[in-house]
Amino acid sequence: MNKLRVLLADDHPVVRGGLKALIAAQPDMEVVGEAGDGHAAVRQAVALRPDVAVMDLSMPGLDGAAATAQIVRIAPKVKVLALTAHQDQGYLQLLLKAGAAGYVLKQTAGEDLIRGIRTVAAGQTYLDPAVAGQLVSALTSRPKLGTVGTGADLSDREGQVLRFLAQGYALKQIAAILDVSARTVETYRARAMEKLGLRNRSDIVRYALQRGWLSDV
């Protein structure tokens, strides 16, 4: 059986050395090239056509995400496995959008890395367990606006107060604009929220977005 051909892209020589030793120790893998920055990674990926490119996110010059996007465009058969120190979902999204097939955290690299290389080489997606867990909980816990009233039974004042709140005005400011007391504004707010079934400020903004009161730029 042919060995999996792996390209390493990381600007840190010590990390690259560690990666190389670990991968070389696998009977079914070999390191066919190394790159210390994003541009070199793209060149090597195009020239060597490895099965998998292990890509550090933060590299000088072209960063890992940009390099990934180029490799996926020029040599789509090369699977990119991103290797980063960032657990934030934002980075995960960035790399997945760029076309990475897998995402491994540097802190726990080791067996996960090897598993990741095998998984993406087989054409599947690999996410580090820590990141995958987060992603699942974020997707399932994303709050949504429940069924809310249409607003038809809101009084003019209640509607106005809701709009101002959605735009981030303070009670005092709303009170000054409408020429009523802050307590009165609070009463309008409470009534409007109860009529619509809104639980908190986030719900008010969601409702406002839904009604087109805010331009969601």
Partner 1 sequence: MNSFEVSRVAGGSIAGNGVPAGDAADIEGYAHHLRYQEAFEFAPDCQVVTDGHGLILEANHAATVLLHCPKPFLTGKPLGLFVAKGYRERFYSGLTWLNRGHLSDSFEVRLIGRNHEQPQVWICVVARNWESGPRGNLHWMIRDVTARRQAEAERHELMSRLVTAHEDERRRIARELHDSVGQLLTALTLAVTTVREAAPLPPASDARLEEVERLAHQLGREVRDLAVRLRPPALDDLGLDAALAQHLRGWSTAVGIEVDYQPSGVQVQRLPPEVETAIYRVVQEALTNVARHAHARQVSVVVARHAGHVTAVVEDDGIGFDQEGAQHRPDGKRLGLLGMRERAALAGGTLEIESRPGFGTTVIARFPVAREGGGRP
Note whether 173 binds partner 1 by CB under 8 A: yes
| Distance in angstroms between the alpha carbons of the first and the last residue of the chain | 53
Pick the closest to residue 96 from 120, 61, 74 (CA basis).
120
Closest contact distance (angstroms) between CB of 126 and partner 1 is 17
- Figure out which of the listed residues 32, 43, 48, 106 binds partner 1, where binding follows CB under 8 A: 106
Residues 186-205 within binding reach of partner 1 (CB under 8 A) = 199-203, 205
Query: Which CB, 40 or 54, lies closer to partner 1?
Result: 54
Q: At what angle do helices 111-121 and 13-24 cross, to 10 degrees?
A: 70
Q: Is 176 in the site for partner 1 (CB under 8 A)?
A: no
Closer CB to partner 1, residue 74 or residue 138?
138
Question: What is the phi-psi region of residue 155: left when phi exceeds 0, alpha when psi lies from -120 to 50, beta otherwise?
Answer: beta
Judge contact between 41 and 4, C-beta under 8 A: no
User: Based on CB atoms, which residue is closest to partner 1, 47 or 85?
Assistant: 85
Q: Could you tell me how many residues of this chain bind partner 1 (CB under 8 A)?
A: 49
- Tell me the C-alpha to C-alpha distance, in Å, between residue 100 and each of 1, 104, 115: 26, 11, 15
Distance of closest approach, residue 85 Cβ to partner 1, in angstroms: 5
* Contact assessment for residue 35 and residue 8, using Cβ atoms and an 8 Å cutoff: yes
Looking at the DSSP bridge assignments, the partners of residue 55 are: 9, 82
Return the residue matching tokens 């058969």: 77
Tell me the per-residue interface mask from 48 to 67 with partner 1, x by CB under 8 A, - otherwise. ----------x---------
Instruction: Provide the binding-site residues for partner 1, judged by CB under 8 A.
Output: 12, 14-15, 17-19, 21-22, 25-26, 58, 85-91, 94, 106-111, 113-114, 134, 138, 143, 166-168, 170-173, 199-203, 205-206, 209, 214-217
